[in-house]
Amino acid sequence: MSESSVPPPDRLVIASRESRLALWQSEHVAALLRRRYPRCEVRILGMTTKGDRILDSPLSKVGGKGLFVKELEEALAAGRADLAVHSAKDVPMVLPPGFCIAATLEREDARDGFVSNRFASLAEMPAGSIVGTSSLRREAQLRERYPGIEVKSLRGNLDTRLAKLDRGEYHAIVLAIAGLKRLGLADRVRAVLEPEVSLPAPGQGALAIECREDRSTLRQQLAAFDHEDSALCLRAERALSRALSGSCQLPLGAYALIAGTQLHMRALVATQDGRRILRAEARGPKLEAERVGEELAGMLLEKGAGEILASLS
């Protein structure tokens, strides 16, 4: 069936987490759907996931990324919702049987940002300063480059994290720039952390639309929103993460960029304390994105990533 012959949807329900950022993301997709399918009724089904409810433990200790999507997938499976909108970095690297990523929207800035009310940069912070992050990946890279700072766990949605900073519980926090931009908070970023300083998480900055695999017409309707280069970068990063059993327990960074027909990808695997960080990079045709990701995973395994993985299990 060609794109022009795909019938427009009459009604679509989007399953969404209820944080302000998640609802922005779902409203953004709803607006795109209404623009393309003006006669379609689109509504959002707000849900609270287990990941939103458990805030007193690091994600790596309570089950990882799947905690943010499981309830949304249950709504898709039961037919209460047609699609779910996720931050791609929150989507487990292996989807449950029967689900698929139907579209990847054009990627926003994938970098991390340094947010502080007292300091202009990480380099300016004196020894003993407290930096908050929820990510083992960020923690390892911070400890490697700035061994004098104290890294403390920081959970909660974006507004909660900023509130904790503003109350003085942390001297600085590190957040994904994409989320701050989407909520009109880009001015909170005091310094951009380039990938050389803080390599992003797989999928960071991208939005993924998930639906049931057996909804073939819906998949074709959603394919209209797929941004090819962003989708290829996401596939490369997810392929690498799958090959390394990537989860919240593994400090893992992966970032792909496309120039012309070529894909360039950097990746790292680390111990949480940052004392050992393995880095590698690879290039290849963008249409072979998953192969490039798998090859890069192999390069990291050759450097000893398997030992780090084994130490975490």
Q: Which amino acid is at 312?
A: L
Q: What angle do CA 40, 204, 162 make, to 5 degrees?
A: 95
Q: Which of 205, 206, 200 is nearest to 266 (CA)?
A: 200
Task: Show which residues are catalytic.
Answer: 90
Query: Per DSSP, what are the bridge partners of residue 45?
Result: 15
